[in-house]
Amino acid sequence: MAEQNKENMMEKIVSLCKRRGFVFPTSEIYGGFANSYSYGPYGTELKNNIKKMWWKKFVQKRPDIVGMDGPILLNPKTWEASGHTEGFNDAMVDCKNCKRRYRADHLVKELTEEDMEGELERMTKTLQSGLKCPECGKSDWTEVRKMSQMFKTEMNGFDGSVYLRPETAGAIFSDFKNIVDSVRVKVPFGIAQIGKAFRNEIVARNFIFRIREFEQMEIEYFIEPETEWEPIFEKWLQDQEEFALSIGAKEEDLRRYEHPKAKLSHYSKKTIDIEYNFPFGFGELFGLAHRGDFDLMQHSKFSGQKLEYFDPVKNQWYVPHVLEPTVGLDRLILTAICAGYAEEKLENGEERIVLRFPKAVAPIKVAVFPLMKNKPELVDKAKEIFENLSENFMCEFDDNGNVGKRYRRQDEIGTPYCVTVDFESLDDDAVTVRDRDTMKQERIKIAELENYLAKKLSE
Ligand code: GAP
């Protein structure tokens, strides 16, 4: 797809998301708030469906993975141990002319040095050697400064700063001992968590791709230190890619990016991102890192607690190593919407926009319509069908406008099936079921409708 079309596509997606209640700028009545977004009714359903699918694949169906749900505010020692308090910084620079703020590493890309101070100086030099501001075209830069990505707050009864967690992983490590002591887990095993994370990003951009309050779905997968980890690492990459495909991503839009050895933290053996081809270019969707025993050792050092595992097979204690598969939920939502978005020309010359979500992802599974809203016998029957079906499926009742318009609306939110009650239904106890993708219609007996839809929705 040409770059121009891709840019245009992002605008179309943002507009669809607002128009149809998926995602809108938050606090809009106050003029918005710092590129933050709210999920509307369909966005919330979409989010819940993707969370459920992830939990099913990586917790429910995995005998070796358990879940947990830790708080956003943790003892700040957690972040000292993980290195976030000192080291979770971005390099920030302002254009003095137009006042636009940037992440310096997004402007100066060829960085090699490891230490932040060295990089700040190098970036300042490169920028001040004539690099132009992408906004105003001038080259008038401030010094590059470091800015912490940690959101600070206070807590009654606690002296000192408390932080909103910058990643969900912290609680998994600090609760490692409680989980090992209370649940019968055997290495290799994983602990999974879904929850909000907060990062004071210098620039929030690309819609919900980079935001300051977002949701992560993370797993810490503990392995025996001497084990052959490469096949396990590869399997995790494949499982993550498989998950991306299950929410609608196409294989050709996924690629792996391996972090160069020189850029890896000293404890990491390997880090690979799985990137998705968004309309604005490839961007990180999943991450997978081999983190050695760094986290458990650090938390052990800072807490004074032994964070080890007793291996009954080897009959010895050790600190397990960890593989960390992680993904941002908001980025998965954007992926599902971008991958599903299609504009189609119909045989009758009309155009439709359709979100071709996989059925498990679709926010609404079935829409139920009475053919006409001013015919009580049709409305009553449609309401009865809605009541029955909504026991098992997320349904929507719609009697607004003509049926054609209702189909277009449901196509735009990706509803796989629309059920219409018409005059014939009163005689033959059957309804018309219309398929989102083929647009074909079938006549189904009301008594068989639930089973029919259950089967179709699970295909
Ligand atoms: N515990 C490891 C960790 O947090 P990360 O690569 O910094 O690793 C994990 O973040 C995932 O969280 C990323 O792969 C990305 O999908 C998502 N993510 C990170 N920053 C984000 C942001 N500002 N907005 C939305 N999602 C973000």
CB 411 within 8 A of CB 395: no
Q: Give the single-character DSSP code of 78.
A: H
Are 421 and 397 in contact by the 8 Å Cβ rule? The answer is no
Residue closest by Cα to atom 12 of ligand 1: 328
**Single-letter code of the amino acid located at 399:** D
Centre of ligand 1 from the C-alpha of residue 454, in Å:
35
- For residue 334 and ligand 1, the question of a CB distance below 6 A is answered with no
Query: Rounded to two decimals, what is the model's pTM?
Result: 0.96
Neighbours of 266 (CB within 10 A): 7
**For residues 68 and 49, what is the distance between their CA atoms, to the nearest angstrom?**
19
Residue 324: both structure tokens together: 């960390």
Whether 287 is in the pocket of ligand 1, judged by its Cβ within 6 Å, is: yes
CB-based contact 314:354 (threshold 8 Å): no
DSSP of 216-233: EEEEEEEE-TTS--HHHH
Residue 423, beta-bridge partner list: none
Dist. CA 328 → ligand 1 center (Å): 5
Who's near 448: CB < 8 A, 6+ residues apart?
none
Domains identified in the chain and CATH numbers:
50-77+153-337 (3.30.930.10), 89-148 (no CATH), 364-458 (3.40.50.800)
Rounded to the nearest angstrom, the distance between the alpha carbon of 31 and the centre of ligand 1 is: 27
Rg (CA), the chain: 26
Q: 389-431 pLDDT, tens per residue?
A: 999 999 999 999 999 999 999 999 999 999 999 999 999 999 9
User: CB of 219 closer than 6 A to ligand 1?
Assistant: no
Candidates 216, 264, 288: which one to mutate for ligand 1, based on the most atoms within 8 Å of Cβ?
A: 216
Phi, psi of 83 (to 5 degrees): 95, 0
Choose which residue among 218, 284, 288 to substitute to test ligand 1 binding: the one with the highest number of ligand atoms within 8 A of its C-beta. 284
DSSP letters along 39-107, please? Answer: E-HHHHHHHHHHHHHHHIIIIIT-TTEEE----SB--THHHHHHTHHHH-EEEEEEBTTT--EEEHHHH
Return the residue matching tokens 């939110």. 413
Alpha carbon distance 380, 421 (integer Å): 10
Token output for 170? 């912290």
Q: Is the CB of 327 under 6 A from ligand 1?
A: yes
At residue 149, the pLDDT reads: 96
- Contacts for 155-161: CB closer than 8 Å, 24+ residues apart: 155/73, 160/76, 161/76
Within a 10 A sphere around the Cβ of 248, how many other Cβ atoms?
A: 23
- Name the residue among 16, 59, 123, 113 with its Cα closest to residue 411: 16
Which has the closest alpha carbon to 321: 137, 136, 189? 189
Whose CA is closest to atom 24 on ligand 1? 210
Q: How far is CA 353 from CA 39, 53, 407, in A?
A: 21, 25, 11
Task: Report the sign of the C-alpha dihedral through residues 291, 212, 339, 408, in that order.
Answer: positive
pLDDT of 216: 98
For residue 167, the CA-to-ligand 1 centroid distance in Å is 8
Residue 222 to residues 31, 307, 346: CA-CA distances in angstroms? Answer: 46, 12, 52
Q: Which residues pair with 452 in a beta bridge?
A: none
Query: How far does the centroid of ligand 1 lie from the alpha carbon of residue 285, in Å?
Result: 8
| pLDDT at residue 112 in the model | 53
pLDDT number for residue 110: 60
**CB of 103 closer than 6 angstroms to any ligand 1 atom:** no
Buried b (16+ CB within 10 A) or exposed e, 355-389: bbbbbbbbbbbbbbbbbeeebeebbebbeebbeeb
> Any idea which residue has 């890192």 for tokens?
289
Q: What angle do CA 410, 47, 385 make, to 5 degrees?
A: 40
Distance CA(366)–CA(355), nearest Å, equals 14
Cβ of 218 below 6 Å from ligand 1: yes
User: Does 169 sit in the ligand 1 pocket, CB within 6 Å?
Assistant: yes
Question: How buried is residue 209: exposed, middle or buried, by Cβ count under 10 Å (0-12/13-18/19+)?
Answer: buried
Q: Terminus-to-terminus CA distance in the chain, angstroms?
A: 30
The stretches in the chain having pLDDT less than 50 are: 1-4
Q: Please name the residues in contact with 4: beta carbons below 8 A apart, sequence gap of 6 or more.
A: none
pLDDT at site 263: 84
